[in-house]
Structure 1
Amino acid sequence: MSRIIIKPMLLEEAIKLGIDKWSIWECESSTFDWEYPEQETAFVFEGDVIVTSGDEVAHIKENMLVSFPKGMKCTWEVRKAIRKAYTFNYEI
């Protein structure tokens, strides 16, 4: 199965990708299970999250562009409230 892809990115660079047209999602500190029905790409404005899928552990923070593969099952541990812009089926 594909892995999580993380690329550090400044907001100015992310804006050039069109994130201003993507949906916004916010979540307070919490832990929950999640499954991605589609490939998702997100730019993180703020937050601190650990995403665990099997033996893969990804530490996601502000100013990161992240891609989650379709079908991935994982656990999100939101350590600091997150705010992200996201879209589906956008390749990075």
Structure 2
Amino acid sequence: MTAGIKVEQASDDKLEELEVKSWSVWEKEVSEFDWFYDEREVCYLLEGEVEVETEEGTVSFGKGDMVIFPEGLECVWRIKEDVKKHYKLG
């Protein structure tokens, strides 16, 4: 965990309980960009591989991971493989 980023494997039961399939979908090709989280985000990766760099270090995650980004986080996203994710803000 870096800068409050949490990465975990989510069970099918957990995904169903959170109704992840009803969340919005975001897709992005291989790229690198700066990002700021003005509110908390929870996402579940359907496809892809990502590294997120913060002042404290780098966090890697990919397909099948559930990731929580805290409000106020400044980071750099490095998408290594095209990403498709469900996400929920707030």
Q: Which residue of 2 aligns with 1:68?
A: 69
C-alpha distance in structure 1 between counterparts of 2:23 and 2:43, whole Å: 9
CA shift for structure 1 position 15? 3.0
What TM-score do the two structures reach when normalised by structure 2? Answer: 0.90
Q: Give the partner amino acid of 1:73.
A: E
Q: Which residue of 1 aligns with 2:48?
A: 47
For structure 2, which runs of at least 5 residues remain unmatched after alignment?
A: none
C-alpha distance in structure 2 between counterparts of 1:15 and 1:64, whole Å: 15
For structure 1, which runs of at least 5 residues remain unmatched after alignment?
A: none
2:7 pairs with 1:6: yes
Q: Give the partner amino acid of 1:36.
A: Y
Output one character per residue of 1:7-61: Cα deviation in whole Å (capped at 9) or x when no partner. Answer: 1124x23133101111100000000000001000000011000000112211010
Moved over 4 A (4+): none
C-alpha distance in structure 2 between counterparts of 1:40 and 1:66, whole Å: 8
C-alpha distance in structure 2 between counterparts of 1:45 and 1:15, whole Å: 14
Question: Percent same amino acid among aligned pairs?
Answer: 30
C-alpha distance in structure 2 between counterparts of 1:78 and 1:42, whole Å: 15
C-alpha distance in structure 2 between counterparts of 1:8 and 1:21, whole Å: 19
Paired residues, what number?
87
